Chain A
Amino acid sequence: MIHEIDARGLACPQPVIMTKKAIEAGEDCVVIVDNEAARDNVCRMAKSQGCEADVEERDGCFRIRVMQGAGRKRKESVVPAAGPTVVVFPCDRMGKGADELGNILVRGFLHTLGEISPRPDVMIFFNAGVKLTTDGSDVLEDLHALEKAGVRLLVCGTCLDFFGLKDKLQAGIISNMYDIAETMLSAGRIVRI
């Protein structure tokens, strides 16, 4: 008999965790959830694990049948672009809209860069992005760890000067537009946050 997981009434991420445990135990299962967000999260996670997920709606609930697929455990390999990977930080936040949120996101992004591969080869900070590298920044610990792992941090000197932060630099090296432009133009790929 197929393992049935009743995740109705449970808050995210509980249904996902329960499903993941079943997948890791090598079981096929049916997960029952009562909202669309949970349905989507469970399906997405199952697919990311190489499983198949079929959804059936019944009485306002969703029954998700999760089956171990042939693709289980197969990881897609990342094809590295020719030339260095450069991440640019034009701002001390990630994205536009809500500043407080953008601050949380950039901190999460830099933490995550230290945990995943491939790492960037170079990170460039300009305009308000330089504030990430100076006194009082929330991400200095992450930047130092990335530097230690061999990532080059170029910080726009003109920008530090503009913000009066030239003597407050705590991570990376002061750089100029020649280095910055050359690095960007010879990059294999540029990631802009």
Chain B
Amino acid sequence: MTDTKSFYIVLFDSTSEALLAEKLFKKAGISHKVIPVPRQISSDCGVCIRFSAPDMERVSAALDDRVAVRDISPLD
């Protein structure tokens, strides 16, 4: 919220994929937050998962082939 840390977000094609991915985040013990897709990215495409930049590799490993990810992009 007032964090100055750098974050990335994982975008999905559907809400159910986001929910599935959150379970994988939890299972892998990666700190994350489910947030609405920021307005500058989309007007209505639902939720995404935010994580800290240093966790990038762990996130890729946790989601790899288990869930369809549309994109991982930095959050400014």
Contact with A along B10-47 (1 / 0, CB 8 A): 00010100110000000000000111110011111101
Q: A13-B42, A17-B42, A100-B19 are in contact. Are A108 and B47 (CB under 8 A)?
A: yes
Q: Does residue B1 face the partner (Cβ distance < 8 Å to A)?
A: yes
A112 to B37 CA separation, bound complex (whole angstroms): 10
The distance in angstroms between the C-alpha atoms of A20 and B41, with both chains bound, is 9
Residues of chain A contacted by B40 (CB below 8 angstroms): 20
CB neighbours (8 Å) of A141 from chain B are 1, 33
Tell me if B34 and A41 are in contact (CB < 8 A).
no
**Contact count A vs B, C-beta below 8 Å:** 50
Q: Quick check: is A173 within 8 A (CB to CB) of the other chain?
A: no
> In the complex, what distance in Å separates the CA atom of A115 from the CA atom of B35?
11
Q: What bracket does the count of chain A residues touching chain B fall in? A: 20 to 34
Give A181 Cβ to nearest chain B Cβ, in Å: 31
Verify if B4 is at the interface (C-beta below 8 Å from A).
no
Q: Is A101 an interface residue (CB 8 A)?
A: yes
> A48 contacts the other chain (Cβ, under 8 Å)?
yes
Which A residues touch B15, using CB under 8 A? 101, 104
Q: Which residues of A contact B44 (CB under 8 A)?
A: 12, 41, 44
Flag if B45 contacts A12 (CB, 8 Å). Answer: yes
Q: Which residues of A contact B45 (CB under 8 A)?
A: 12-13
* Cβ < 8 Å to B, chain A residues 23-38: none
